[in-house]
Amino acid sequence: MLTFIHLTKRFGKFTAVDDLSFEVRPQEAVALWGPNGAGKTTAIKCLLGLLSYEGRIEVNGLDAAKAGKAVRRQLGYVPQELSFYDDMSTLDMAEFYARLKKVSVARAQEVIAQVGLAGHERKPVGALSGGMKQRLALGLALLADPPILVLDEPTSNLDAAAREQFLRLLGEVKAAGKTILFTSHRLEEIEHLGDRVLVLGDGRLQFICPAEELPARLGLRATVKVRLAAAAIPAALDVLHAGGYTATAKNGAGLRIDVPHGEKARPLHLLSQADILIDDFEIE
Amino acid sequence: MSLQIILIIAQKELRDALRNRWFLLYTIAFVALSLAFSYLALAGAGIVGFAGFGRTAASLINLVLLIIPLMALTVGAQSLAGEQEKSTLSYLLAQPVSRVEIFLGKYLGLALSLLASLTLGFGISGVVIALGGAGAVDPLAYVLLVGLAFLLSLTMLSVGLLVSAFTRKASVAVGIGLFLWLLFVFFGDLGMMGTAMALRVPIANLFLLSLSNPLQVFKMMAILDIQSTLDILGPAGLYAMRKYGDGLYSLLLGVLLLWILLPGLLAYARLAAKNDF
């Protein structure tokens, strides 16, 4: 459905994307993962025709470099930095893009409701919160009901509550059968939305893996901080060390336990099985 | 290329321009000054009141030369650079629209907004003159002046868009636009006069030099409309009349159209080739 073939993008002597090849299958959600500067956004901009490039990008067999407009008709795009006409009302904005995408203006009202912005139609876009703007961006991307959604760091500017709400919305969109290509450096986003992950570094593809395997492939670990009675600490350390965990006492008031990502509850379970009472815990 | 898309973008551009405070300020200034010029046009003739259309047209030439280029250069310069600065242009380009549709839509929208401003300024002035003045002596000259002013505004719009296409910040683009405005206005009269005197430029070359400034071209055409001769411009005007005769007006019109087309095409070429959104 979406194929990148030896994509290379250079800015002068700097190579932002280096020989990137991958495919996104229909109804699949593929994440581009990597730190800032890994080339994620550059690859997306090449797909959208905002940057020239070497190599080839195909969308349902169409060459993105030669048939940019037809390709973009199949894409719904949510940018990293929201760039809207702030003085326009939410409805005017949606209607403007509906007309550009040649869909009925009634569809504008539909997507506004779909992304939970009903009641905010007359509000200037500039007066919407960050989360609302992000939902509006998703609504605009869905206007023409395109088969493919392209999301560039879709939750990077949202607080925790807005992020959760937006991810739930994206989950619904994915369940409706959309193909999704998105960039992210947030693990929870990848785990929630992604089927496969392409890990980029310095513009090159490092490896591809199923989304659920990403933490292990990256060797990601977490620290579980446990608070318990001082008298119970020696016994707790014995139990954890016997279970194969690295744990250290924390100022006589608790423990710090190093755990692989995805196994954060297991040491708590071990302590509980050993009848060691845990007063509180937190995860770093 | 879709005409429908061009019209949608033009409509939005027109809406934005009519909400732009600078644009409104220029329009108000233009309306107020054109009314004042109309009133004062007969002062030289010792008659108090509103002048007839022909005389008013003559007095409005200088006003048009000052305000219309300023207005068109400013809105043109703000257009692409402003949208690029706010990243709204890259979002627009990520939609199923082509760059030529965006450019033509913007050009058309801005041209219509300039036409609206001109029509308002000349219209109010014209109605007041017709109702309270010395009668409709030469309304054709007045209408032709409006048409010429519109063509002049398109030349400056093209130049403004050219500046905008090469600039990433609206403030820089407007600054360059203002500099060009000064250059055109200064070069139009004082500069050319000074150059002619200092370098003893032959009359034929002086005329050709004046074609390099759309404001001069507009002025010559407007004067020809009013009195069918360029005697008032001195030897260069006489030379042009003798050399080109009846073809002079067409020549000037061609030059004005070139001033619309060439910067416009260059601006589009720059937008089409731009690769750093």
pLDDT of residue B47 exceeding 60, the answer is no
Tokens 């509906």 — which residue?
A: A98
Kindly determine whether residue B277 and residue A50, on different chains, have CB atoms separated by under 8 Å: yes
pLDDT band at B135 (very low <50, low <70, confident <90, very high): low
Distance CA B70, CA B277 (A): 28
Element (H or E) spanning A196, and its range? strand A196-201
Tokens of B212: 């390099």
Q: Where are the alpha helices (DSSP H) in chain A?
A: 40-48, 68-72, 90-100, 106-114, 130-142, 160-175, 187-193, 214-218, 233-242, 266-273
pLDDT number for residue A221: 82
Read off the pLDDT of each residue in B87-101 and give the average, rounded to a whole number. Answer: 93
Looking at the partner chain, which of B4, B9, B94 has a beta carbon nearest the beta carbon of A77?
A: B94
Kindly determine whether residue A101 and residue B96, on different chains, have CB atoms separated by under 8 Å: yes
> At A3, is the secondary structure helix, strand, or coil?
strand
Distance CA A218, CA A199 (A): 9
For chain B, what's the residue count? Answer: 277
For residue A230, give the DSSP letter: G
| Interface of chain A toward chain B, CB-CB under 8 angstroms | 45, 48-52, 68-70, 72-73, 75, 77, 79, 81, 83-85, 87, 96-97, 99-102, 144
Instruction: Give the CA distances from residue B81 to residues B18, B87, B175, B198, in Å, rounded to whole numbers and listed in that order.
Output: 18, 10, 12, 39
pLDDT number for residue B234: 66
What's the ipTM? 0.81
Taking alpha carbons only, the member of A32, A282, A37, A249 closest to residue A151 is A32
- Which pairs count as long-range contacts for B43-49, CB under 8 Å and 24+ apart, including other chains? B47/B134, B49/B132, B49/B133, B49/B134
Mean pLDDT of chain B: 83
Taking alpha carbons only, the member of A241, A14, A261, A90 closest to residue B276 is A14
pLDDT band at A70 (very low <50, low <70, confident <90, very high): very high
Distance CA A141, CA A148 (A): 9
Looking at CA atoms only, how far is residue B218 from chain A in angstroms? 36
Tokens of B103: 């450019």
**Cβ within 8 Å of residue B255, ≥6 positions away:** B211, B214, B217
Q: What is the domain extent for residue B219?
A: 3-273
Looking at CA atoms only, how far is residue B25 from chain A in angstroms? 19
Q: What is the pLDDT of residues B70-86, one digit of tens each?
A: 999 999 999 999 888 88
Tokens of A246: 């690295």
pLDDT band at B21 (very low <50, low <70, confident <90, very high): confident
What's the domain count of chain B? 1
Domains and CATH numbers, chain A: 2-218 (3.40.50.300), 221-283 (3.30.70)
Distance CA B68, CA B149 (A): 7
A41 interaction partners in chain B (CB closer than 8 Å): none
Kindly determine whether residue B8 and residue A49, on different chains, have CB atoms separated by under 8 Å: no
pLDDT number for residue A172: 86
Distance CA B244, CA B227 (A): 17
A181 interaction partners in chain B (CB closer than 8 Å): none
Looking at the partner chain, which of B4, B96, B275 has a beta carbon nearest the beta carbon of A69?
A: B96
pLDDT band at A72 (very low <50, low <70, confident <90, very high): very high
Read off the pLDDT of each residue in B50-71 and give the average, rounded to a whole number. Answer: 76
Kindly determine whether residue B90 and residue A50, on different chains, have CB atoms separated by under 8 Å: yes
pLDDT number for residue B122: 83
pLDDT of residue B46 exceeding 80, the answer is no
Strand partners, A124: A89
Kindly determine whether residue B91 and residue A84, on different chains, have CB atoms separated by under 8 Å: yes
Region of residue A68 (phi > 0: left; psi between -120 and 50: alpha; otherwise: beta): alpha
Buried b (16+ CB within 10 A) or exposed e, A8-33: bbeeeeebbbbebebebeeebbbbbb
Instruction: Give the CA distances from residue B144 to residues A140, A278, B129, B241, in Å, rounded to whole numbers and listed in that order.
Output: 45, 91, 16, 20
Instruction: Give the CA distances from residue B206 to residues B32, B219, B242, in Å, rounded to whole numbers and listed in that order.
Output: 35, 15, 15
Distance CA B111, CA B158 (A): 10
Q: What is the pLDDT of residues A115-171, one digit of tens each?
A: 888 888 899 998 888 888 888 998 999 999 999 999 998 887 777 777 888 888 888
Judged by average pLDDT, the poorest of A125-139, B56-70, B141-155 is: B56-70
Contact status, residue B173 vs residue B206, Cβ threshold 8 Å: no
B277 interaction partners in chain A (CB closer than 8 Å): 45, 50-51
A79 interaction partners in chain B (CB closer than 8 Å): 87, 90-91, 94
Element (H or E) spanning B54, and its range? helix B53-85
Tokens of B128: 């007041």
pLDDT of residue A83 exceeding 90, the answer is no
Kindly determine whether residue B88 and residue A83, on different chains, have CB atoms separated by under 8 Å: yes
Which chain B residue has its CA at the smallest distance from A101's CA?
Answer: B96
Amino acid at B241: M
Region of residue A203 (phi > 0: left; psi between -120 and 50: alpha; otherwise: beta): left
pLDDT number for residue A17: 93
